[in-house]
């Protein structure tokens, strides 16, 4: 295949343009990491760019040395893992029947789901509901109410609608019921959309902050984002034994940058394992047969 000169120039322009956009996203992250490993003097004087100056791990020792950080990390991990699994199960079980034309009342249910997408309940009714269910000061308060996202349900429904109906018909002829066909046929074919939903739901759970502030007052169950916010605004750890000499080497700005890294790295480590499925899932609904 012969590539014309115009096509070569176009490809070169794409590489340069996309590379420049990538740098605008990557360089701020590199700067944050560099500041998190720099000492107070270097940060205050503005000497830190994209490489640590006067390298120190004091900010991370300060943050990770607090036992409350690990409790909060445990809480966020539980909410993220269990909440994402619950999201995938509930969303797929709602999206699948709404994608099949043979099920009754499909359009009526879709209208109700669409209504929740446009209009959401205010904070006070939500709080009263959580309190009446006895979920206050528990991790259930930030997990169960978000079991299904209407927007994600419509994306998953679009994927299910593109699955060949002949596969389901063959499964039913072989004796599979609806639940067995869904479990053994539909879900194995839905890895791309499941991976996409897992990333979307997982990031949302990991970054859960507002709901935790409203519904959880017991410090035993606060998630990581709430604890890290306290560090950012206090510039110190309440339970840490910090000497004035230790603070002279650390910068409040460096501590904040370390907090950002601690909050970001765990969820970023998940993406490479789901990348190939995520790219396929992004094309859901874009191609019609």
The pLDDT, as a whole number, for residue 289 is 43
* Helix-helix angle 150-161:106-118, to 10 degrees: 140
State the Rg of the chain over Cα: 24
**Residue 227's pLDDT is what?**
82
Spans of the chain, pLDDT less than 70: 1-2, 232, 234-251, 273-289
Q: Which fold has domain 63-281?
A: MetI-like fold (1.10.3720)
What pLDDT is attached to residue 282? 52
Domain boundaries, the chain: 63-281
DSSP per residue over the chain, as a string?
-PPPHHHHHHHHHHHHHHHHHHHHHHHHHHHHHHHHTS-HHHHHTT--SSS-SS---HHHHHHHT-HHHHHHHHHHHHHHHHHHHHHHHHHHHHHHHHH-TTSTTHHHHHHHHHHHHH----HHHHHHHHHHTT-TTSGGGGTGGGS--HHHHHHHHHHHHTS-HHHHHHHHHTT--HHHHIIIIITGGGHHHHHHHHHHHHHHHHT--HHHHHH---GGG--HHHHHHHHHHHSS-TTS---HHHHHH--HHHHHHHHHHHHHHHHHTTHHHHHHHHHHHTTTTT---
pLDDT at 288: 47
pLDDT of residue 85: 93
């Amino acid at each position: 295949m012969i590539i014309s000169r115009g096509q070569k120039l176009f490809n070169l322009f794409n590489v340069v343009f996309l590379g420049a956009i990538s740098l605008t996203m990557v360089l701020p992250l590199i700067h944050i990491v560099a500041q998190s490993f720099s000492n107070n003097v270097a940060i205050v004087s503005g000497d830190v760019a994209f490489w640590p100056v006067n390298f120190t791990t004091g900010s991370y020792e300060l943050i990770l040395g607090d036992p409350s950080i690990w409790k909060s990390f445990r809480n966020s991990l539980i909410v993220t893992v269990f909440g994402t699994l619950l999201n995938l199960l509930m969303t797929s079980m709602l999206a699948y029947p709404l994608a099949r034309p043979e099920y009754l009342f499909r359009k009526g249910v879709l209208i109700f789901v669409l209504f929740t997408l446009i209009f959401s309940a205010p904070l006070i009714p939500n709080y009263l509901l959580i309190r009446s269910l006895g979920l206050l000061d528990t991790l259930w308060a930030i997990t169960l109410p978000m079991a299904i996202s209407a927007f994600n349900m419509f994306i998953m429904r679009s994927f299910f609608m593109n699955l060949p109906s002949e596969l389901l018909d063959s499964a039913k002829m072989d004796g599979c019921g609806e639940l067995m066909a869904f479990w053994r046929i539909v879900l194995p074919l839905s890895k791309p959309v499941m991976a996409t939903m897992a990333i979307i739901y997982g990031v949302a759970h990991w970054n859960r902050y507002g709901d935790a502030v409203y519904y959880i007052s017991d410090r035993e169950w606060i998630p990581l984002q709430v604890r890290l916010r306290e560090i950012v605004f206090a510039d110190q750890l309440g339970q840490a034994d910090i000497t004035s000499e230790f603070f002279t080497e650390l910068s409040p700005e460096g501590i904040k940058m370390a907090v950002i890294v601690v909050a970001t790295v765990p969820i970023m480590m998940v993406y490479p394992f789901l990348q190939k499925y995520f790219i396929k899932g992004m094309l859901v609904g874009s191609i019609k047969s």
